[in-house]
Structure 1
Amino acid sequence: MPDRCEVLPGDSVVARRGGGLLWVDAPGSPALVAALHACLGVAGPGADRVLAAVASQVMTLGNGGASFAIVLTDSAQGTGTGVALWSGKGQPAVDGVPVSGSSVDGGCTLAAGFSLGQTLYVGPGQAAPQMPPGVAFDLQDGTVPGSGAMLHLAAPAPAAAAPQPAAAPAQQSFAASSDAGFGAPAAAAPSSSQARPDSGEQTAFWRPDAPSAPLLRFDDGMVVTIDEDLVLGRRPDNHELVAAGTARPVPIADTQNVLSSAHAAIQRAGREVSLVDLGSLNGTHVAGPEATEWTQLEPGVAHPLSDGDRLLLGWTVITFEQPQD
């Protein structure tokens, strides 16, 4: 069972979801980052086929210049095995020993069924040495900048003490990425009394009572109903639309300040829903369900959304869903 994840300082991207660990350096290729983030929701038997499918698209998604290493762990029943895919400068290692694998389409290397050991590393080149206290960032779940990461694995619990497995969740989200967490498998849905978090450092969400309203589905599986205009950002409460009472604020967790305080707005006009960049520093991007490239929006110009469109705000990926009549 995964325990502590130390992220080493750097300008690339490190993400963790449960036992999944990712390092990616793909400047100019948010589509590749999003595709790899989506893989963090896949684990267990068959994960190698998912990664092999992604590998076949890497050259297209990454324009040939990306480096990454992604590892999915399977510690069910104490098996302690992993599946990994890497390319370019990326390299996973177990207890300091590089993982070996087989070449697959796209110039990547794939390994499956290897032992996890005590420490699991993703990043460029050889496993990084133990970092002094206060230098490495302890990532519980989510996405941060980093030059690599070391996941320390706790010993599996004895079989006799293992709790009975809970019922499988109704649905897992395998959508791509966010500072709020490329979330671990979603916990039980919050009650209505827990609808809104108190802190602006958490992704705001609430479960819709009926499927009639359009939805924003965050990559961590949380859902925001679009029953009025919204302002999304790091701290959107002070935006003029919110202050005037014409829009509801949706704070998005962003510990690295890649989001603007008020980054983008969602506007409704009947059944039509549009996305508007509010002059954000890093831009607002959108892509269709099958698109492999992101389109940056011009600030202040409304972009109509269609069912399945993906929104990219900083490192946060959100899927727009329009219920059918």
Structure 2
Amino acid sequence: MPDRCEVLPGDNVVARRGGGLLWVDAPGSPALVATLYACLGVSGPGADRVLSAVAGQVGALADSGASFALVLADTAGGSGSGVALWSGKGQPSVDGVPVSGRQVDGGCTLAAGFDLGSSLYVGPGSAPSPVPPGVAYDLVEGTVPGSGASLQLTAATPPSVAVPVAAPVSSPPAERFSAGSDSGFSAPAAPAPEPAAWEPAAEEPAQAPAQAGGESTAFWQPDSPPAAPVLRFDDGMVVTVDNDLVLGRRPDGHELVTSGTATAVPIADTQNVLSSAHAAVQRAGREVSLVDLGSLNGTHVAGPEATEWTQLEPGVAHALSDGDRLLLGWTVITFEQPAA
């Protein structure tokens, strides 16, 4: 099933939704882009007929110089087959080998039922192998600028491989109590004794009054304070938002950092598309906001289900929600807000 989609920087359009992957280079043809994007939700045995019908409309929707590649991946049951429609420079490739198809209307080529292999590429030419680190960013879902995309696929794990681990029968589950405080305890809680085992000797004083008064804290495990939100970068780096942050190519010199108000988070930038201090992430309690610091190429944000990026106005705070995606240059960051 789809694992990671690496998008190469560029001025064209790359989109991913469900099992579909799209690359389009069609300047001045928004109708073609919209039509192809709508096909990303197509699945099932009739997908090739839908793409064949779309091919007949390409000439009316786009200029003659339009290039695109649309691949619908079917990974249900580990089949790993695809249906593709392309035109111009958009011939897709599987594991570095171009996909073969038949000519259809609109000057397009259609291929159906081909093996997806382990790596699927859409875009002009062939995918760089491997992609230079720090150049590509991961696209989970939506539409972004890019010059091509490489979708890495992993085989489905057979059900027999997963072996459930039974809990030890000799260790009853510990009972949890709430202490009505967010200060917490550093020592782990001891397991609560079984009711039948809690029988004080006749000559010993009963402990029930002490428990009722809340003094026997050795058996208490208070609720932990809410986890801090995090920024999960496309290269795997995770940054905890426990205070204000300044992100950019060289954010150490920004006044928020030098004054001690914020922490610098430098981002690798091989394409020189980031500003020194590109954007700030500000936290007030559980509320987290993103602010563009007047960056040259802008700061963009998109919700979990959004298909387009929205550029922020410099200096205007934008409240973040769990699952929002941030785009700084070619770096994609996902904001994660744990439940309260």
The question of whether the paired residues in 2 share the 8 Å contact of 1:104 and 1:110 is answered with yes
- Counterparts of 1:154-193 in structure 2, within 5 Å, are 154-160=154-160
Aligned to 2:36, the other structure's residue is in SS state helix
Please tell me the residue identity of whatever aligns with 2:7: V
Which consecutive unaligned segments of at least 5 residues does structure 1 have?
Answer: 163-196, 206-217, 221-231, 240-252, 259-325
The question of whether the paired residues in 2 share the 8 Å contact of 1:2 and 1:18 is answered with no
Q: Structure 2 CA distance, aligned partners of 1:123 and 1:204? A: 25
The question of whether the paired residues in 1 share the 8 Å contact of 2:92 and 2:121 is answered with yes
Query: Hey, what does 2:115 align to over in structure 1?
Result: 115
Query: Hey, what does 2:128 align to over in structure 1?
Result: 128
* Poorly superposed stretches of 4+, deviation over 3 Å: 159-162, 197-205, 232-236, 253-258
Task: Give the TM-score normalised by structure 1.
Answer: 0.52
Cα distance, 1:134–1:61 mapped onto 2, change above 3 Å: same
Query: Hey, what does 1:277 align to over in structure 2?
Result: none
Question: Shift of the alpha carbon at 1:123?
Answer: 0.4
Question: Shift of the alpha carbon at 1:146?
Answer: 1.0
Please tell me the residue identity of whatever aligns with 2:59: M
Please tell me the residue identity of whatever aligns with 2:117: G
Identity among equivalent positions (%) equals 66
The question of whether the paired residues in 2 share the 8 Å contact of 1:22 and 1:69 is answered with yes
- Counterparts of 1:34-53 in structure 2, within 5 Å, are 34-53=34-53
Query: Hey, what does 2:61 align to over in structure 1?
Result: 61
Q: Structure 2 CA distance, aligned partners of 1:199 and 1:110? A: 45
Alignment size in residue pairs: 193
Q: Structure 2 CA distance, aligned partners of 1:219 and 1:144? A: 8
Q: Structure 1 CA distance, aligned partners of 2:79 and 2:310? A: 41
**Is 2:15 aligned against 1:5?**
no
Query: Hey, what does 2:92 align to over in structure 1?
Result: 92
- Counterparts of 1:1-325 in structure 2, within 5 Å, are 1-160=1-160, 201-203=301-303, 234-235=311-312
The question of whether the paired residues in 2 share the 8 Å contact of 1:12 and 1:146 is answered with yes
Question: Shift of the alpha carbon at 1:29?
Answer: 0.4
Q: Structure 1 CA distance, aligned partners of 2:139 and 2:310? A: 22
Cα distance, 1:158–1:100 mapped onto 2, change above 3 Å: same
Cα distance, 1:157–1:55 mapped onto 2, change above 3 Å: same
Aligned to 1:40, the other structure's residue is in SS state helix
The question of whether the paired residues in 1 share the 8 Å contact of 2:143 and 2:307 is answered with no
Query: Hey, what does 2:237 align to over in structure 1?
Result: none
Task: Give the TM-score normalised by structure 2.
Answer: 0.50
Query: Hey, what does 1:215 align to over in structure 2?
Result: none
The question of whether the paired residues in 2 share the 8 Å contact of 1:86 and 1:108 is answered with yes
The question of whether the paired residues in 2 share the 8 Å contact of 1:22 and 1:68 is answered with yes
Q: Structure 2 CA distance, aligned partners of 1:45 and 1:199? A: 45
Question: Shift of the alpha carbon at 1:234?
Answer: 4.3
The question of whether the paired residues in 2 share the 8 Å contact of 1:78 and 1:156 is answered with yes
Q: Structure 1 CA distance, aligned partners of 2:48 and 2:289? A: 38
The question of whether the paired residues in 2 share the 8 Å contact of 1:69 and 1:86 is answered with yes
Cα distance, 1:83–1:257 mapped onto 2, change above 3 Å: same
Q: Structure 2 CA distance, aligned partners of 1:92 and 1:49? A: 19
Which consecutive unaligned segments of at least 5 residues does structure 2 have?
Answer: 163-286, 291-300, 317-323, 330-340
Cα distance, 1:98–1:78 mapped onto 2, change above 3 Å: same
Q: Structure 1 CA distance, aligned partners of 2:310 and 2:148? A: 27
Aligned to 1:91, the other structure's residue is in SS state coil
CA deviations 1:260-282 (Å, max 9, x no partner) are xxxxxxxxxxxxxxxxxxxxxxx
Question: Shift of the alpha carbon at 1:161?
Answer: 6.5
Question: Shift of the alpha carbon at 1:17?
Answer: 1.2
CA RMSD of aligned residues (A): 3.4
Question: Shift of the alpha carbon at 1:63?
Answer: 2.3
CA deviations 1:228-263 (Å, max 9, x no partner) are xxxx96458x99xxxxxxxxxxxxx785699xxxxx
Please tell me the residue identity of whatever aligns with 2:4: R
CA deviations 1:82-125 (Å, max 9, x no partner) are 00000011110000000000001000000000001000000012
Please tell me the residue identity of whatever aligns with 1:31: A
The question of whether the paired residues in 1 share the 8 Å contact of 2:73 and 2:82 is answered with yes
